[in-house]
Amino acid sequence: MSRTRIRILSEQDIRRALPMREAIAAMKEAFAELSGGRVTMPARARIDIPAHAGTALFMPCCADRFGGISVKVVNLFDGNAAKGLPRIQGVVCLFDCQTGNPLALLNGTCLTALRTGAASGAATDLLARPEAATVAIFGAGVQGRTQLEAVCAVRAIRKARVFDPAAEAAATFAAEMSGALRVEVAAAGSPREALREADVVCTATVSATPVFADADLAPGTHINAVGSYKPDVQEIPEDTVLRALLVVDHRASVLAETGDLIIPIRKGLMKETDIHAELGEIVAGKVGGRPSECQITLFKSVGVAVQDLAAAARALENAKQKGLGQIVEL
């Protein structure tokens, strides 16, 4: 009997194996497969751990297109920052879909941040105005960093502002990302200041209430909202949701999980049918995107397992070619 060997990919390995532009291409492919009905993706299971302000999520997926089965275990603990730990931690296990053979174990913290940013990059590429040059980032954490990186990969961004209630975190973000992306990044003193002249807005926070005022949005703004993944958490103002061209990563998932949509639907302010499209439908050309220059567009993502599978499969393929990772015998 042959021995089972798996490749372990660290954060550094994943970053080298999966550059942002390639991750964005993988997300477009993933969403097209999902919307085309070619993905087996059960609803993610969750365990709430209120005593420690934590949530554990279990996300399985299988798709022939990517040749694999993936299972991600991702944990979100709101108190980790005070302990000097990442809020989001996890691992992704990848298996061969023809034999079930284990193939790889990947750093889930890095992969989640990368594929979440890449999804917003894909949405920005498809929905934002071509001349978009200024970005507002809400949330100075790991997710905010990959959001900005992804937007800069698809648009010629000249300026970015970041707002976070923790001013020191925003200042650190600005300094780090200015150097990493060679873009002018400044910390904003208020949400309104962050939104000034913004063409693209990315929200990646843990806020339970809207992080900006709808009235402060300029006509034609594109928004990527990735923070709200619980029914009682509402990161985007209702007025914005109601007037935006609403595009989602996966209808069933957003309607089950995000307060950004669940709350206004429960109030009778909107209907499920007000969702314009899944992003994969736009990728496949089945539905159009931005209808006009002045239209507000909103991409609402709660994150789905096919993103992890597509990103992990692409990272593993490239890692093999580059000789990255550590081979371990089980």
The per-residue pLDDT string of the chain (330 residues; one tens digit each, 9 = 90 and over) reads: 567 899 999 999 999 999 999 999 999 999 999 999 999 999 889 999 999 999 999 999 999 999 999 999 999 898 998 898 888 899 999 999 999 999 999 999 999 999 999 999 999 999 999 999 999 999 999 999 999 999 999 999 999 999 999 999 999 999 999 999 999 999 999 999 999 999 999 999 989 999 999 999 999 999 999 998 889 999 999 999 999 999 999 999 999 999 999 999 999 999 999 999 999 999 999 999 999 999 999 999 999 999 999 999 999 999 999 999 999 998
By DSSP bridging, strand 5-9 and strand 102-107 are parallel
**Tokens 């042959």 sit at which residue?**
2
Report how far residue 137's alpha carbon sits from residue 162's, in angstroms, rounded to the nearest whole number: 5
Output the six-digit token pair for 64: 């022939």
pTM: 0.94
Cα→Cα distances 145→101, 139, 151, 162, 321, Å: 34, 9, 10, 10, 27
> How much is the pLDDT for 107?
97
Q: Which amino acid is at 148?
A: L
By DSSP bridging, strand 134-138 and strand 159-163 are parallel
Domains of the chain: 5-111+306-329 (3.30.1780.10), 129-304 (3.40.50.720)
